[in-house]
Structure 1
């Protein structure tokens, strides 16, 4: 039998980042939290938490906390069915989800809001990652569900198609005038500044090579913020690919200009969620699929 009091302490330590903040969230002393964690580690014969700023889980700790998160979600589901409130619970049930930045910026937040209204006792813990990498977060146990670009179902997950996100390569009128006054040629594109979201973002480079046969050099800027990524494009720092739902109004108003009409790539998105969990995750999946259907292109 697992020591769920110890697992609750470990989960709090990693969620809050330190033993002191975990103790405050649990209504315990830091010494009591430390004793629970150390005692469980000694019984298991392995380290579960890497002490640091912030504290992190080991591989074994990740597996156990994933189990604990699943148990809390199932308990919350059962409690709602029985109309029973667990007054002894010290931690909310938490569903950890990995979502790509463009989805959270455009449509996924609406699914979160709808789910929160239905399940106010469940906390959503959202991790932002590239859609090419979110499936790996699911495999490793870091998250319980994910929006991903992978259609390969994991053995324990149900994977459904959400549709495709259309993207537009665009730039500000000032950048168009400065670098594409004679048209969007391969030479002009190679010399024009562009943006990258982060070091793993190769979307602009792949698009330029596929459409214009151009190898891009260093970007004008890396900026790991969806709002700043769009703002810098509007300000004319560089061109970039943006989700169509995010920039459609700017294109209509002329604040952005599509640099190669007719060459809009689409990224297929999928929703992967465990098969065996109860009504709460089913409701989350229903909201994700419903909102995605309104925002994404049919796959």
Structure 2
């Protein structure tokens, strides 16, 4: 195969932006040029790489080439930065996936600690820590904060630490719904706040606490900061990490209603086995910040 960098950039742009027209605007070429480059790449590979749907999606062979494309683009851009020196313009985009709680508590600090001289632009995807490896596997991102310890093929993995979650609620909520404590009967009917339909933390606590599968009324609040605020306002109970609950506890808006209980989520940093100054600096920043902020 003769993989050309302009064709690989075109593949990435089509997948990232969803249409050939949007990719053309990103690459500053005509839609016809995008179509020609994509067809030439598919001809070189000998397989269809993109489903021409809306949005465009990579085929199974396309995910393989997409992963290679991002790696080759990163290497190409890294070499360009090193050769151009301090006068270089532009930035290299590194797509990463981070779970909402990490984004809202410690991960943004890690991104801010990467040397600006590296001229990195971060494209951050948010996904549950247990689902983020799929974005690594299909080539959407280069690195991930994940709860999965088993490395994705072609990736390395390093332990970040543990994020602990405690069952929290407002004092008024506890008085109303748990006057006799978090009994099975009370937990079966007490409203609960859930991040989204992929959030299993509350159900994990319920099963561990009751040894049953309970299905209480649920409020879905898919923004990490608003999730904790919704619990503090009395909308329901939920599992909150101390990095988020501390300010509400200090003002008396949140209390831990079942002190012995907690759910621990180990976090890992997975990234492509591709050593560049940019990826290495990002990994170092994530791991050193996690060492300060996580258990």
TM over 0.5, yes or no? Answer: yes
Which residue does 1:102 correspond to in 2?
Answer: 101
Q: CA deviation at 1:28?
A: 1.0
Label 1:99 to 1:133 Cα distance change in 2 as closer, same or farther (>3 A). same
Residues 74 and 43 of structure 1, relative CA distance in 2, 3 Å threshold: closer
Instruction: Tell me the matched-pair count.
Output: 294
Going from structure 1 to structure 2, the CA distance change for 1:93 and 1:70 (only over 3 Å counts) comes to farther
Deviation at 1:70, TM superposition (A): 1.1
**Structure 2 residues without counterparts, runs of 5 or longer:** none
Q: Hey, what does 1:181 align to over in structure 2?
A: 179
Q: Deviations 1:136-182 (Å, cap 9, x if unpaired)?
A: 33234332211111222345332211111111211122211221123
Unaligned runs of at least 5 residues, structure 1: none
Pick one of 271, 277, 280 that aligns with 2:278. Answer: 280
Contact in 1 for aligned 2:169/2:257 (Cα 8 Å): yes
Partner of 1:115: 114
Task: Give the 3 Å change call, closer, same or farther, for CA 34–116 of structure 1 in structure 2.
Answer: farther
Distance 2:23 2:203 in 1: 43
Match of 1:224 in 2: 222
TM-score (norm 2): 0.90
Matches of 1:240 and 1:162, distance apart in 2: 24
**Contact 2:154 / 2:273 at 8 angstroms: preserved in 1?**
yes
Within-5 A mapping of 1:84-95: 84=85, 93-95=92-94
- Look up the SS of the partner of 2:94 in the other structure: strand
Distance 1:85 1:34 in 2: 35
What is the distance in 2 between the residues matched to 1:57 and 1:124?
22
Runs of 4+ deviating beyond 4 Å = 84-87
User: Over residues 253-289 of structure 1, what are the superposed CA-to-partner deviations in whole Å (9 max), with x where a residue is unaligned?
Assistant: 1111111113222211111123332221110111001
Alignment TM-score, normalising by the size of structure 1: 0.89
Counterpart CA distance in 2 for 1:38 and 1:139 is: 24
Across the aligned residues of Structure 1 and Structure 2, the Cα RMSD in angstroms comes to 2.3
Q: Distance in 2 between matches of 1:267 and 1:248?
A: 18
